[in-house]
A and B are shown apart, each in its own frame.
Chain A
């Protein structure tokens, strides 16, 4: 008989915990307008010309959860390289402690300045990941590459490597979303929104920190949207 009480007690506990799950998944879904973005094989249209994307990589860092304005949790060593070529990187799984209540999530697009000046690092920050500038130290925060019919470049390639951490060339961006009960949290990343105001015939290559990079970093931050935003 006593055992039953114990079991019921345990079940109750479980119910309580499941009310606030300990694992929080965030899925970054790259799209082009409303269709999923497929690298290399899919041909999309941009300003009535053909466009194909070959690479989309970016850093999501410093993930934090808030309840109202109060910070309730922050991820340790929070550096995630999302790489569309490696689908397993699109999902970020957070291990939360018990009973954190939150209604907002925030993170940064890009690597913060302290990390940028701290020397060699491993994991997603390892320079073998192709997101580091050797000849002008610093991480590339956001990389978008592809081929556009009208680009006057070799093989019509365009490439935007956005980075820079120092002073007025800092490109790291903070992004915040209010949360509903929807799980996993799905964040759409619409590349079309990023390109929309660009003239790819003239602006097609950006490979180092500059004021232009700062402007484009701000635009890149705006394309991260929760499903119903």
Chain B
């Protein structure tokens, strides 16, 4: 009798623990002194099961037409979730997209996505690679049918959403949850800000230069102000990418691109929307003497930035303090092994 009660009790406790682990809402932790996230977590509360599902999906080649590539093919963890071996990201059938894949981190603070801000919400971003022929070349219903037919996904969706029937909404929300937890906030820079360590003399000098010349666009602590700007890149006539203007159709937005974060910039090469620069030194060289004048060039860059060779070296030393090894090698973000 007693034993029976204990057994029931145990099952109950296990049940509660299970419930706690997989479907209880997880609070999204905002690093100290960071702004409030832009993402509305009330509409998509984080749970362990949804994040786990999102992680599986992020690494899932079934999301592409020929099951050859997954999100991680173009957004690899060890390079801050960007693609490194080609300036323009390869898609299926080896078609080449027209843009460089951006690094993925701290997405909860972004308000627009893609280099031109074409996507207005993180949830909706994953539709683009699943439906654009230059990338994964598959349509959403097809993807869902494949996932539904697999042995793994109906179970994972049931755990996450209480429903094994896969919908577009659930698919997108799960992927978004995994992306939301990709928070990078433990670089040397962050440790210095938290007074756990100090900058070297060179890094300190670089930080001062950064605050003078770069911070108005690549604003701390996210290293972007989430605006669009023309930073003086000469237009590549083989691509003729007009950036933000393609979306708004307004001349004032010609060649404006989203200001990217500089966190983990050591690993997010090649740089710029079209991946034209391989090295940080080339990027600085551009800001110092490569600025191309045009009607929409940011007034901040009109004269080019007056940085001496030594200053450029110091600035790079500072940029390297934005590397967050914990983020790059966090096992929770890597390929999910069973």
CB within 8 Å of B: which residues of A?
A: 116-122, 125-129, 132, 134-138, 169, 210
The 10 closest A-B pairs by CB, nearest first: A119-B123, A134-B127, A120-B123, A120-B172, A122-B169, A128-B168, A137-B120, A127-B168, A134-B131, A119-B121
Inter-chain contact A127/B120, CB cutoff 8 Å:
no
Residue B288, interface by CB 8 Å: no
Asked, given contacts A127-B140, A128-B141, whether A134 binds B124 with beta carbons under 8 Å apart, the answer is yes
Q: Is B144 an interface residue (CB 8 A)?
A: yes
Contact with A along B42-57 (1 / 0, CB 8 A): 0110000000000000
Number of A-B contacts (CB under 8 A): 69
Name B's A-contacting residues (CB within 8 A): 40, 43-44, 118-124, 127-128, 130-132, 140-141, 144, 167-170, 172-173, 176, 247, 249
A132 touches B124 (CB 8 A): yes
Is the contact region of chain A dominated by helix, strand, or loop, or is it mixed? loop
Contacts of B120 in A (CB 8 A): 116-117, 137-138
- Rounded to whole Å, the gap between the CB of B42 and the closest CB of chain A is 11
- CB of B128 within 8 A of CB of A135, answer yes
| A117 touching B172, Cβ below 8 Å | no
Q: Would you call A134 and B172 a contact (CB within 8 A)?
A: no
Q: How long is the Cα–Cα vector from A120 to B119 in the complex, in angstroms? A: 12
With A and B bound together, what is the CA distance between A120 and B123 in angstroms? 6
A191 and B122 alpha carbons, distance in the complex (Å)? 36
**Chain B residue nearest to A169 in the complex (CB):** B249
Indicate if the CB atoms of B44 and A119 lie closer than 8 Å: yes
Contacts of A125 in B (CB 8 A): 169
Query: Which residue of the partner chain, among A121, A138, A169, contacts B169 with CB atoms under 8 Å?
Result: A121
- List the A side residues contacting B170 at CB < 8 Å: 122
Q: Write the nearest CB–CB distance from B139 to chain A, whole angstroms.
A: 8
What would be 16 A-B contacts, judged by CB atoms less than 8 Å apart? Answer: A118-B40, A118-B43, A119-B122, A119-B124, A120-B121, A120-B173, A122-B167, A132-B124, A132-B127, A134-B124, A134-B127, A135-B132, A137-B119, A137-B120, A137-B124, A138-B120
Assess A126 versus B168: contact at CB under 8 Å? Given A120-B173, A136-B247, A137-B119. Answer: yes
Q: In the complex, A103→B167 CA distance in Å?
A: 38
Complex CA gap A138/B119 in Å reads: 8
Q: Are A120 and B168 in contact (CB under 8 A)?
A: yes
Nearest chain A CB to B4's CB is how many angstroms away? 42
Distance to closest chain A CB from B158 (angstroms): 16
